[in-house]
Amino acid sequence: MDLTDLNQKDREAKLSHAEALALLRFFNFQRERHGEAPIPEDYNRLCEQLSAIYSDVTFKLSEHRVIAQVKRGVSGSLVEHIGFVSSRIPHLTTTVSFDFESIHVVFCSDGIGIIKEDSWYEFFEHDLDLEKIRQESEGDKETINDRLHDYFHDVVGPQMEDPFFDPASEDCELYFETGSEAELERLMKLFILTEPGIEAHDDEEVRLYAAVDGADPYLENDDYYCSERLDGLAAVALAENRPVGWTWQYNDGACNRRSGYNECAECLAWNIGEVLEESSARERMAARRELRNYLIARGHDLAQFDELAERKCPA
């Protein structure tokens, strides 16, 4: 049953547990708006609780579903009695899409909003003046829909505990906040070429992850080559060449919610064997002099970094 559709005239319906629980949650949502304490959810007493709240409707448990029925002698449909919308309170609706999923959103003129996702409902508060939106949009349905759609994305969504989410629109393609990718590439190859004993690790890879919200770029030390020397030199390079970027990877959770995705930093990688093969003997000999001059210009001493070469990065 669609508890936001006043056109449904049924007087009896089998409600799923989610729908029945939504009735109690909506009642509690209204109580909390008025500063009143919510009624604790009790599955074993759910029908009893709902019967007390909606006195013109009977609720009976039947095989894990709840049968709701308007009492005899009482006029009106079931939605009119227990629904989340009312013919006395104007409302506007819109459909919001996230990736391949769509949800139904209702904005009521009393400041209450309803989200319907299949048989699951959520409630929120809003400050929209629906009549003003109608007037400014001159009654044009597409304009009204765009206004509601934008408000949901910009205001409602970010305030949700687990907001709806379209991962494709939230990815951040790799870019450099300072410096450049070319310079970081040059420096990392320079660091690798001058790493003492690096030839013994020609089948390994150096991997650097870009910065994401709340986290700086870093060298990966689990399953990839990393010494304290290389980590220290990378920190010098990253101070002037800061990569930023991430993608959202599905984690088998809710496919249209933020909790269903993990933010994964973009990475840059160097195969040690390839770096060695692509560099001539002359280039490798000149690399230490080039690195020493680079560090001196920034107030560092190459010898201090070389002392760290035998130390692996802590796990």
Please check whether residue 315 lies inside any domain of the structure. no
User: CA 242, CA 96: separation in Å to the nearest integer?
Assistant: 36
* Mean local confidence (pLDDT), 195-223: 93
**Quick one: which of 165, 28, 46 has its CA closest to 97?**
165
Q: Which of 110, 142, 163 is the last residue of a domain?
A: 163
292 or 165, which is more confident: 292
Please give the average per-residue pLDDT across 142-171, as a whole number: 87
Domain range for residue 98? 91-163
Examine the domain organization and report whether 144 and 194 are in the same domain.
Answer: no
pLDDT for 99:
64
Has residue 56 got a pLDDT over 80?
Answer: yes
pLDDT for the residue numbered 85: 94
**Final residue in a domain of this structure, among 101, 128, 163:** 163
Instruction: Check whether 311 has a pLDDT greater than 90.
Output: no
pLDDT of residue 25 exceeding 90, the answer is: yes
* CB contact at 8 A, 272 and 225: yes
Same domain membership, residue 302 and residue 173: yes
Nearest of 237, 243, 238, 267 to residue 177 by alpha carbon: 243
Whether the per-residue pLDDT at 131 is higher than 80: the answer is yes
Of 98-112, 170-184, 230-244, 293-307, where does mean pLDDT reach its minimum?
A: 98-112
0.75 exceeded by the pTM? no
Residue 5 φ then ψ, to 5°: -115, 105
Are 208 and 224 in contact by the 8 Å Cβ rule? The answer is no
The pLDDT-based confidence of 73 (bands split at 50, 70, 90) is very high
Domain final position from 64, 84, 104: 84
pLDDT band at 296, cuts 50/70/90?
A: very high
Residue 160: both structure tokens together? 């949700």
**Is 169's pLDDT higher than 90?**
no
166: tokens are 């379209």
Residue 100 pLDDT level (bands cut at 50, 70, 90)? low
Mean pLDDT (whole number) for 14-21:
93
Paired strand residues for 13: 68
Distance CA 13, CA 79 (A): 10
Number of domains present in the structure of the chain: 3
Collect contacts of 21-27 with beta carbons under 8 A, ≥24 apart.
Answer: 21/46, 22/120, 22/121, 23/50, 23/53, 23/54, 23/82, 24/49, 24/50, 24/53, 25/121, 25/123, 26/84, 26/121, 26/123, 27/53
